[in-house]
Structure 1
Amino acid sequence: MMLAGLIFATDDADDRVGTLAATLPFGGLTLIEFQARLLIGAGVSQLLVVVTRLTPELLGAIARIGRRGASVDVVRTAVEAADKLHPLARVLVLADGLVTTGDVLSLLTEEGGDALLTVSDLEAAPGFERVGAETAWAGVARLDAKRVAEVAAMPKDYDFQSTLLRVAAQGEAAHVRLPAALSGGAHGIERDSRALAARGTIMLAVLVSKPVVWADRYILAPLARLALPPLMARTVHSMAVAASGIVLGLAAVAAIFFDRAAPGIALAILAILVFTIGAALSWLRDEEPLAAFQRNAIPGMAALAALLLGHVTSTSDDTATGWTLGIAAVVAAALAERAAGPGAKRRWWGSPVAYLLIMLPLSIAGMPLIALAAAGAYATTTLAAAIEGLRDRP
């Protein structure tokens, strides 16, 4: 299926005269860049941006979108859009000012006919257009290119977005309900800069709330959500957050090396928390290399803590037990991560922060070898469950 994207960028911001809502800042990007990023991530290879006027901010945003590898065309009318679209393309349509998540967009990226993402009229956020007596359009649609051609055949003074929506509704497009839990409150239409900034904070909270594993979901994610609003309000630079994680990680390594296992593991957990927050901030601000570094630093920090604890213990006891337990725990944890595919993890499974949380109380009690053995046993149990899961797959 060939996918094209259609983004509307025609309405002005509510609180900034002469500024298009699509060019309002969102994280470290403009809103339209964030929308384009979601569409490209969904597999869109051609983007059409519907405009009524071109501003310097919009031109700059479109130029930056073009560097992502997808072709970008600016159109003013349905006629121009119909001329640009491949006749066999399926078109993902995003409403003007829409904020959403990749998970929501994935509801309409599957094969199928025309479809509208909808909510009940009672749940409709401001800006959602009604498409039925008790139904409102939630700002995302999957349409055949011929629907755009049908709008192109109508009088030019019709509003493109609203007319396209009516054509789709009259063509009996399927209604796909938006599950409230899927968006986490991040989905909506915003044309006010302050409301959009608040929506960005909600988006970050959604990003750090995704983990399934208990330690990440119930300990790491709540702490991250508490820290994110002040960081966003003060516009703390992503690099500063990453640097803080590195400093905490180095402090953890130093503490473990100098035989202070409990403080070192506690600092390693804090470093992972900071890297989790930093990865979410960097992702929202389109700093993917920095986000990837911090995502990789999370398991790296846990592995380094375990290996170093094993080394210090073995050196102190003049045996190879610590090295053996540390290496075994890291290998089992790495294999478990490798075996657990996306969406396959269970709530009780291990994760980098879970292994450190298991080790912390035992280290406080002065039993580093037992701490490593417990983490290794937990990782091995997780690995066994992951392998069984692979065997059960068709």
Structure 2
Amino acid sequence: MTFVAILSASRTSGDSPAGLRATLHFAGQTLVEYQARQAARAGADHIFILVNVITPAISQAVDRLSADGIAVVLVRDMIAMVRDMPRDADSLLVADGAIISQSHFDAIAGTEGDALLVTDDSRASAPFERIDAGQRWAGLVRISPDLLFGTLDMIGDWDLALTLVRGAVQKGARRITVPQDDLLEGRVTLIEGQQQADLVAQSVLSMASRSGRMRGGIEHYLFGPVARFLGPVLMRSQVPALQVRIASMMIGAIALVPIELDWPVIGFCLLLFALLLSEVSDRLDELALRSPPLGWIAFITPFFALLGLVMASGSITASYLALMLAILLVADRWQRTGGARAWMIFTPGSALLLLFAAQLAGGVSWMLDLAMICAIGSAGAIILTRRG
């Protein structure tokens, strides 16, 4: 069943009465933008953000979300909400300033009907709203259209989120209890100021750095671990993924100069560094809950790597190898490698590393033949391990 998400962006932060919790910096973006990406990843069709005042930070966040294909609507009053909310879809309500791990978003999204994310009453859960003698609301609730519109029809001055939560409690909504470890380790928390947001982001990014999509070849075994280490560091330093990607393109282009001047070792070193930066950029996108690019921009740096390989070798075998690597690159990038393991996928980075070693050892010709055999074997492995 489809659902929409309702986010709040109205409470002030503890740092300044003029600032909002929703616009605090978190994981390379505003906090409300991070919440919206979590909801979209869980399956929300539309994102509704409740605001009192549309600030420049909120507008920029909406622009970035819209550019990534996430449908966002700003709502300033209940009349607009009644008009715009779908009548046949559940709503996923997220508390203002709440950071909740993606697993809990997915758990609530996977239920049907009213469901509450709750935590047992303790010192760690004190910032959350109490719902009865033993439990508190943990910042996430799924509500049916009947409960939502029944609440919107009420008259009076009330807090929409808390009123909906109380309505869900009275209806006996299913409760999903958060382990206390999630509270203590920052996987479920309420953020009030930037310092707290930085601490929670550090914890979240540290956990996220252990996971990631599988790549093949050297990108998996060498670049991947380095990117997982550097990603959280650069994210905390607020380095945008796009700037890292542009840097990788520039270094890839510059690397062609020493190769043309017959200094292939220097050129290959620069190309390997450019591919590493491209992998770091992908990791920054993943940490910010953005999908790494799959279009032409993702292939610019690898294109320079393949061009450098052909320029350095200057043989027809190198041209054929580059074409084979381009096909394998697209399959790897679009995750169409079937059941092939990471070591079975021969990538441009893997070929460059072999040729770099060959340049040092003086055996480029036979290494080109070996690389071509590896590329053919990799293509065969992808074809033969595809599931019907």
Q: Distance in 2 between matches of 1:332 and 1:285?
A: 27
The root-mean-square deviation of aligned C-alpha atoms, in Å, is 4.6
Quick check: 1:171 aligned with 2:172? yes
CA deviation map 1:110-132 (0-9, x unaligned): 57444445678899777556779
CA displacement, residues 28-86 of structure 1 (integer Å, 9 cap, x when unaligned): 643223433454566645433334x4264576458647965736242556x87456422
Distance change (3 Å), C-alpha of 1:210 and 1:100: farther
**CA displacement at 1:384 relative to structure 2:** 2.9
Separation of aligned partners in 2, 1:347 and 1:114: 42
Deviations 1:328-364 (A, max 9, x none): 444444456557269x663434244344444443443
What stretches of structure 2 of length at least 5 have no aligned partner? none
- Give the SS at the match of 1:348: helix
Q: 1:277 to 1:136 in 2, by over 3 A?
A: farther
CA contact (8 A) 1:249 1:267 kept: yes
Counterpart in the other structure of 1:346: 341
Give the TM-score taking structure 1 as reference length. 0.72
Say which SS state the counterpart of residue 384 (structure 1) adopts: helix
1:1-394 to structure 2, matched below 5 A, reads: 1-26=1-26, 29-40=29-40, 44-51=44-51, 53-54=52-53, 56-57=55-56, 60=59, 64=63, 70=71, 72-75=73-76, 81=81, 84-99=84-99, 105-109=105-109, 112-116=112-116, 127=127, 139-152=139-152, 156=156, 159-169=159-169, 170-173=171-174, 175=176, 188-200=189-201, 206=208, 209-213=211-215, 215-228=218-231, 231-232=234-235, 235-236=238-239, 240-281=243-284, 295-311=298-314, 314=315, 320-335=316-331, 340=336, 346-350=341-345, 351-390=347-386, 392-393=387-388
Can you give the 5+ residue segments of structure 1 that lack an aligned partner in the other structure? Answer: 315-319
* Identity %, equivalent residues: 24
Q: What is the count of residue pairs matched by the alignment?
A: 379
* AA partner of residue 386 (structure 1): I
| Range with greater deviation from structure 2 (211-220 or 97-106) | 97-106
Change (3 A) 1:372 1:202: farther
Deviation of 1:271 after TM superposition, in Å, equals 0.5
The match for 1:317 is: none
Q: Secondary structure at the match of 1:245?
A: helix
Counterpart CA distance in 1 for 2:365 and 2:136 is 59
TM-score normalised according to structure 2 size: 0.73
CA distance in 1, matches of 2:190, 2:140: 11
Residues 168 and 211 of structure 1: CA distance in aligned 2, closer, same or farther (over 3 Å) = same
* Per-residue Cα deviation, 1:130-183 (whole angstroms, up to 9, x for no partner): 7799977654443322232354477856543234334435533263879x99xx
| Change beyond 3 A, Cα 1:142–1:255 | farther
Shift of 1:370: 3.9
Q: What is the CA–CA distance in structure 1 between the aligned matches of 2:307 and 2:186, rounded to whole Å?
A: 37
Deviations 1:166-214 (A, max 9, x none): 4435533263879x99xx9776542221332455566666379513236
- Match for 2:215: what amino acid? V
Distance 1:326 1:18, change over 3 A: closer
